[in-house]
């Protein structure tokens, strides 16, 4: 999060006009042309970098400015801070046509690293390959007392990621050997500290002693990134950098990698076989470089696992322990995938590691790579890792849903591991109530991830329960908020909206009935049961205005669309019927967040016809429930419109042979009463005028039903005549607005004209299945509006058969 002052600076940088940017560039050019680069040049370059990096739109710098930035960067006399600023500006401007940098004659490795970072930002593949060769040449020719190499290893790592084939096979092998040496044989003594020794004495070197562990003990084993000291030697820096690029290098240069050799020789296979027998059996054998690197990487990771068990004296070292442990497990995972012989040497330590980590909440993020390791290798090693998954999906979301970083990593783990779950996919699916806690608390950043994850989470057994929970997601957010507010220790509470006071909610939570509903909403696994949460809605209503709850409510429509898109791929008739009834039931039973009900109704209204299309007999099968819905308290206009339309479309013997005249008559009477109610009732603040779409759909549906039971034609004709008359006076009529009244009048006229020819009406409103094929609806010459207009002209006496 930015402070108010930082946000103000960013806003000013984004709003800066091109003329002001041009004046700043002129000032930068003047300062860089001076012989002595002072603090003013650094300040001007900092401001220039802020301006060009604060917006996603490309800024344009004049060619003289770009040329001076490159000249300054390559100048041997340029101080390091100024070089870094020039590099940052040039990288931000890349790719750029006016760049003329070259690293062919640069000898200083630090300067070479800076220039290389700019060239890599250009993204030119040929330039990346030539840069890789130049850096490798410097690495190969480096003398023991030569320049530092630690500025070049990040360049090599970036080169291999952008162009994996940039290095030749022999170069890959040579660098693998050196990486293994840097990992395993770095000095265990701290770097020499130079002291002046007094005013008149000559400078002397002061030895600081061996490096230490994070708990302060003197290191008795080889140096790693978790070793501590006051000053580090060159090979210790290379050790740290080698570990930082190790996993990417193994993936790029190992079996299956883009820069891997075409075929491993026999000696490498023999080395892999020997490594299975003993971790130390390679002492008398010369291993190929790639296998040598894997052996040293394995030893390094084992050492990190041991070091992570030490109690760090500083918080920064503790955070570093967690990050290094995660990376070490990921590297071990790669090693076991590339060479299965490492698997049997790794399993026991990872089992004990999992036992240690699961009891310590501070290490919860490290459990994800451990679980991923067992997903990759559990079956190959004949290990039942179900306990790992059960703990992962049961306790972590329930206890740590409020950690945004963990939430992101957990959901990414689920997405990345979907192909690996196999028979354990059921554990993931039944844990969706727990996973939704991450979504409820962190909905804006996680919505797109859950849209991608939903198709794998939902199945026929959990669809109904999942839909209930999706509709209750804002209520779940409020419940989680209340749960955190009830924590006794203030240090355990993450930040929330302090403007919302929930003392009454906390007191009401002691009610036994509400506690049961609260626990149901916060359940960890799918229960197969559904509870009416209306009492909980009332209890949590004071929290409905929380920003987090409102944000969650805004994400629900997107999630609902993803849910129905997935469900319609496998739903059968029974599930479609269950979901349709759920839509009707929940349309008037939602947690009251501002704007939430209206947005949900829009989605539900589009999905009810889709379910009916998926299973057309649904309307006949659920006739009783649909009659209760249209005859009960008036629901939202969108849902009611879609239900009425579906009745008119699918209540027909052509869709279901069980449809009877009695059912048609019953629906006609219910819809006729509903149309009378919405057109005769006086509008008020509590009961506004009915939307014109509802009225026009009601008229159309009544006409469709009458065309299927011809005894009803006189009744619907009288009704349509009356509606046409009422629509002619918009001010006093039932339809709001002139446009709505005009639409109702037009629709009533067209329907009356159709009813004058009952056989034509039946063809139009109840076409055969062949006529209902999608191709007819795509053809404008056979579309329903054209049929309506043609029939209207035929039956209008004034028009006759001639146009005009």
Question: Can you tell me the distance from the alpha carbon of 423 to that of 434, in angstroms, rounded to the nearest whole number?
Answer: 20
Question: Can you tell me the distance from the alpha carbon of 710 to that of 89, in angstroms, rounded to the nearest whole number?
Answer: 80
For the chain, the domains span 168-188+212-252+288-383, 402-489+502-594
Q: Over the stretch 101-140, which tens digit does the pLDDT of each residue have?
A: 888 888 888 888 999 999 998 888 888 898 888 888 888 7
Instruction: Report the pLDDT value the prediction gives residue 469, as an integer from 0 to 100.
Output: 95
- Choose the weakest-confidence range: 224-228, 305-309, 580-584, 728-732: 728-732
Greater confidence (7 vs 701) lies with 701
Question: Can you tell me the distance from the alpha carbon of 600 to that of 467, in angstroms, rounded to the nearest whole number?
Answer: 12
CA-nearest of 488, 471, 493, 322 to 409 is: 322
- Choose the weakest-confidence range: 83-97, 439-453, 682-696: 682-696
CA-nearest of 252, 258, 327 to 293 is: 252
Four-residue CA torsion sign, 523, 529, 530, 531: negative
Helix axes 125-141, 109-122, angle to 10 degrees: 160
Asked if residues 747 and 693 have their Cβ atoms less than 8 Å apart, the reply is no
Instruction: Report the pLDDT value the prediction gives residue 166, as an integer from 0 to 100.
Output: 86
Instruction: Report the pLDDT value the prediction gives residue 127, as an integer from 0 to 100.
Output: 87
Radius of gyration of the chain (CA): 36
Question: Can you tell me the distance from the alpha carbon of 649 to that of 368, in angstroms, rounded to the nearest whole number?
Answer: 51
What is the pTM for the complete model shown?
0.82
Question: Can you tell me the distance from the alpha carbon of 226 to that of 228, in angstroms, rounded to the nearest whole number?
Answer: 6
CA-nearest of 82, 138, 63 to 107 is: 138
Reduced to 3 states (helix: H, G, I; strand: E, B; else coil), residue 364 is: helix
Judge whether residue 550 has pLDDT over 60.
Answer: yes
Q: Which of 465-474, 506-515, 628-637 has the highest mean pLDDT?
A: 465-474
| pLDDT band, very low/low/confident/very high, at 724 (cuts 50, 70, 90) | confident
| pLDDT band, very low/low/confident/very high, at 799 (cuts 50, 70, 90) | very low
Instruction: Report the pLDDT value the prediction gives residue 272, as an integer from 0 to 100.
Output: 39
Q: Over the stretch 631-684, which tens digit does the pLDDT of each residue have?
A: 876 555 789 999 999 999 999 998 888 999 999 999 999 999 998 888 876 555
Judge whether residue 146 has pLDDT over 70.
Answer: no
Segment 210-231 shows an average pLDDT of 91
First-to-last C-alpha distance (Å) of the chain: 69
- Choose the weakest-confidence range: 210-219, 596-605, 629-638: 629-638
**Pairing mode, if any, of strands 193-195 and 204-206?**
antiparallel
- The residue count of the chain comes to 804
Question: Can you tell me the distance from the alpha carbon of 621 to that of 418, in angstroms, rounded to the nearest whole number?
Answer: 37
Question: Can you tell me the distance from the alpha carbon of 427 to that of 673, in angstroms, rounded to the nearest whole number?
Answer: 50
Greater confidence (501 vs 366) lies with 366
Instruction: Report the pLDDT value the prediction gives residue 734, as an integer from 0 to 100.
Output: 59
Instruction: Report the pLDDT value the prediction gives residue 788, as an integer from 0 to 100.
Output: 62
Instruction: Report the pLDDT value the prediction gives residue 503, as an integer from 0 to 100.
Output: 64
| pLDDT band, very low/low/confident/very high, at 298 (cuts 50, 70, 90) | very high
Question: Can you tell me the distance from the alpha carbon of 45 to that of 98, in angstroms, rounded to the nearest whole number?
Answer: 19
Question: Can you tell me the distance from the alpha carbon of 281 to that of 669, in angstroms, rounded to the nearest whole number?
Answer: 89
CB atoms within 10 A of CB 245: 18
Segment 699-718 shows an average pLDDT of 90
| pLDDT band, very low/low/confident/very high, at 264 (cuts 50, 70, 90) | very low
Asked if residues 464 and 572 have their Cβ atoms less than 8 Å apart, the reply is no
Element (H, E) at 786: helix 784-795
Greater confidence (431 vs 142) lies with 431
| pLDDT band, very low/low/confident/very high, at 425 (cuts 50, 70, 90) | confident
Mean pLDDT of the chain: 83
Judge whether residue 62 has pLDDT over 70.
Answer: yes
Question: Can you tell me the distance from the alpha carbon of 564 to that of 547, in angstroms, rounded to the nearest whole number?
Answer: 27
CB-count exposure of residue 707 (10 Å: 0-12, 13-18, 19+): buried
Peptide bond into 95 cis (omega under 30): yes
HSE of 134 in the Cβ direction (CA atoms, 13 Å)? 21
CA-nearest of 350, 354, 355, 351 to 367 is: 354
- Choose the weakest-confidence range: 388-392, 580-584, 640-644: 388-392
Judge whether residue 255 has pLDDT over 70.
Answer: no
510: Cβ contacts below 8 Å, ≥ 6 apart: none
Instruction: Report the pLDDT value the prediction gives residue 745, as an integer from 0 to 100.
Output: 86
Element (H, E) at 384: none
Segment 244-273 shows an average pLDDT of 61
- What region does 445 belong to: left with phi over 0, alpha with psi -120 to 50, or beta? alpha
Residue 194 phi, psi (nearest 5): -90, 130
Instruction: Report the pLDDT value the prediction gives residue 283, as an integer from 0 to 100.
Output: 45
Reduced to 3 states (helix: H, G, I; strand: E, B; else coil), residue 533 is: coil
Asked if residues 475 and 437 have their Cβ atoms less than 8 Å apart, the reply is no
Q: Over the stretch 735-780, which tens digit does the pLDDT of each residue have?
A: 666 777 888 888 888 888 888 887 777 777 777 665 555 544 455 5
Question: Can you tell me the distance from the alpha carbon of 650 to that of 653, in angstroms, rounded to the nearest whole number?
Answer: 9
Greater confidence (226 vs 527) lies with 226
Question: Can you tell me the distance from the alpha carbon of 368 to that of 88, in angstroms, rounded to the nearest whole number?
Answer: 35
CA-nearest of 609, 704, 620 to 662 is: 620
634: Cβ contacts below 8 Å, ≥ 6 apart: 640, 677, 678
CA-nearest of 230, 142, 238 to 184 is: 238
Question: Can you tell me the distance from the alpha carbon of 179 to that of 246, in angstroms, rounded to the nearest whole number?
Answer: 8
Judge whether residue 259 has pLDDT over 60.
Answer: no
DSSP state of 686: S
Judge whether residue 257 has pLDDT over 80.
Answer: no
Peptide bond into 332 cis (omega under 30): no
Question: Can you tell me the distance from the alpha carbon of 640 to that of 643, in angstroms, rounded to the nearest whole number?
Answer: 5
| pLDDT band, very low/low/confident/very high, at 11 (cuts 50, 70, 90) | confident
Instruction: Report the pLDDT value the prediction gives residue 784, as an integer from 0 to 100.
Output: 59
Judge whether residue 278 has pLDDT over 60.
Answer: no
Question: Can you tell me the distance from the alpha carbon of 466 to that of 204, in angstroms, rounded to the nearest whole number?
Answer: 72
- Give Dmax over CA atoms of the chain in angstroms: 122
CA-nearest of 36, 95, 34, 89 to 66 is: 89
- What region does 523 belong to: left with phi over 0, alpha with psi -120 to 50, or beta? beta
CB-count exposure of residue 713 (10 Å: 0-12, 13-18, 19+): middle
722: Cβ contacts below 8 Å, ≥ 6 apart: none
Segment 259-268 shows an average pLDDT of 43
Four-residue CA torsion sign, 155, 161, 164, 170: positive
CA-nearest of 768, 639, 651, 636 to 702 is: 651
| Cα dihedral 741, 745, 750, 753 in deg (nearest 10) | 170
CB atoms within 10 A of CB 565: 14
Greater confidence (489 vs 433) lies with 433
CB atoms within 10 A of CB 432: 22
Judge whether residue 433 has pLDDT over 70.
Answer: yes
Reduced to 3 states (helix: H, G, I; strand: E, B; else coil), residue 17 is: coil
| pLDDT band, very low/low/confident/very high, at 804 (cuts 50, 70, 90) | very low
Question: Can you tell me the distance from the alpha carbon of 654 to that of 652, in angstroms, rounded to the nearest whole number?
Answer: 5
SS3 sequence, 445-514?
Answer: HHHHHHHHHHHHHCCCCCHHHHHHHHHCHHHHHHHHHHHHHCCCCHHHCCCCCCCCCCHHHHHHCCCHHH
């Amino acid at each position: 999060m930015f402070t108010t002052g930082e946000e103000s600076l960013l806003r000013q940088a984004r709003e800066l006009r091109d003329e002001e940017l041009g004046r700043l560039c002129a000032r930068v050019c003047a300062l860089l042309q001076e012989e002595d680069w002072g603090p003013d040049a650094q300040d001007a370059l900092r401001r220039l970098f802020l301006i060009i990096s604060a917006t996603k739109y490309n800024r344009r710098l004049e060619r003289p400015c770009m040329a001076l930035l490159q000249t300054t960067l390559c100048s041997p006399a340029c101080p390091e801070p100024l070089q870094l600023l020039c590099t940052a500006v040039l990288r931000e401007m890349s790719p750029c046509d006016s760049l003329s940098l070259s690293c062919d004659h640069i000898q200083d490795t630090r300067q070479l690293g800076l220039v290389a970072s700019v060239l890599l930002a250009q993204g030119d593949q040929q330039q990346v390959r030539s840069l890789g060769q130049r850096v490798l040449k410097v690495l190969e020719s480096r003398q023991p007392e030569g320049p530092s190499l630690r500025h070049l290893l990040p360049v090599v790592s970036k080169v291999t990621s952008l162009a994996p084939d940039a290095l030749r096979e022999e170069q890959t092998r040579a660098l693998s050997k050196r990486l293994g040496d840097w990992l395993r044989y770095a000095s265990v003594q701290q770097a020499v500290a130079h002291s002046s020794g007094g005013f008149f004495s000559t400078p002397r070197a002061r030895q600081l002693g061996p490096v230490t562990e994070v708990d302060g003990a003197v290191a008795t084993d080889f140096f790693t990134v978790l070793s501590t000291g006051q000053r580090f030697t060159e090979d210790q820096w290379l050790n740290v950098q080698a570990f930082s690029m190790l996993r990417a290098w193994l993936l790029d240069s190992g079996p299956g990698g883009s820069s891997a050799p075409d075929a491993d020789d026999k000696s490498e296979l023999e080395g892999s076989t020997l490594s299975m027998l003993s971790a130390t059996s390679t002492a008398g054998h010369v291993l190929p470089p790639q296998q040598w690197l894997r052996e040293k990487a394995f030893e390094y990771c084992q050492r990190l696992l041991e070091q992570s068990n030490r109690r760090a004296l500083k918080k920064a070292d503790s955070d570093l322990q967690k990050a290094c442990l995660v990376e070490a497990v990921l590297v071990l995972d790669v090693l076991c995938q590339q060479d299965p012989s490492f698997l049997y040497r790794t399993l026991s330590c990872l089992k004990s590691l999992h036992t240690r980590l699961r009891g310590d909440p501070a290490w919860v993020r490290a459990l994800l790579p451990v679980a991923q390791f067992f997903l990759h290798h559990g079956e190959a090693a004949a290990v039942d890792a179900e306990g790992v998954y059960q703990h992962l999906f049961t306790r972590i979301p329930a206890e740590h849903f409020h950690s945004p970083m963990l939430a992101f990593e957990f959901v990414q783990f689920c997405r990345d591991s979907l192909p690996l779950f196999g028979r354990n996919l059921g554990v993931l699916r039944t844990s969706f109530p727990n996973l939704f806690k991450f979504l409820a608390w962190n909905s804006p950043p996680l919505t797109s991830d859950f849209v991608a994850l939903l198709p794998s989470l939902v199945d026929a057994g959990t669809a109904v329960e999942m839909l209930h929970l999706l509709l209750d997601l804002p209520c779940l957010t409020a419940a989680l908020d209340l749960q955190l507010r009830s924590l006794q220790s203030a240090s355990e509470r993450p930040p929330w909206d302090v403007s919302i006071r929930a003392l009454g909610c906390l007191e009401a939570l002691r009610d036994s009935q509400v506690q049961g509903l609260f626990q149901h909403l916060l359940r960890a696994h799918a229960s197969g049961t559904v509870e009416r949460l209306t009492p909980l809605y009332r209890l949590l209503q004071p929290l409905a205005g929380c920003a987090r709850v409102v944000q969650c409510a805004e994400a629900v429509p997107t999630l609902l669309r993803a849910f129905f898109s997935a469900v319609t791929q496998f739903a059968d008739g029974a599930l479609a019927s269950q979901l349709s009834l759920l839509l009707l039931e929940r349309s008037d039973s939602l947690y009251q967040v501002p704007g939430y009900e209206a947005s949900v109704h829009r989605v539900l209204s589009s999905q009810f016809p889709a379910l009916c299309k998926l299973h057309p007999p649904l309307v006949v099968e659920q006739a009783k429930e649909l009659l209760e819905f249209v005859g009960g308290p008036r629901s939202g206009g969108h849902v009611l419109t879609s239900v009425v339309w579906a009745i008119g479309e699918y209540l027909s013997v052509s869709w279901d042979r069980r449809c009877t005249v009695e059912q048609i008559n019953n629906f006609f009477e219910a819809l006729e009463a509903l149309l009378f109610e919405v057109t005769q009732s006086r509008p008020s603040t509590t009961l506004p005028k009915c939307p014109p779409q509802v009225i026009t759909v009601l008229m159309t549906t009544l006409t469709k039903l009458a065309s299927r039971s011809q005894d009803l034609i006189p009744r619907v004709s009288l009704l349509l005549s009356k509606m046409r008359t009422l629509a002619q006076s918009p001010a006093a009529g039932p339809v709001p607005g002139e446009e709505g009244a005009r639409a109702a009048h037009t629709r009533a006229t067209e329907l009356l004209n159709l009813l004058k020819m009952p056989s034509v009406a039946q063809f139009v409103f109840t076409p055969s299945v062949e006529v209902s094929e999608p191709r007819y609806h795509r053809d404008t010459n056979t579309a329903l509006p054209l049929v309506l207009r043609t029939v209207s002209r035929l039956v209008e006496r004034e028009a006759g058969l001639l146009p005009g």
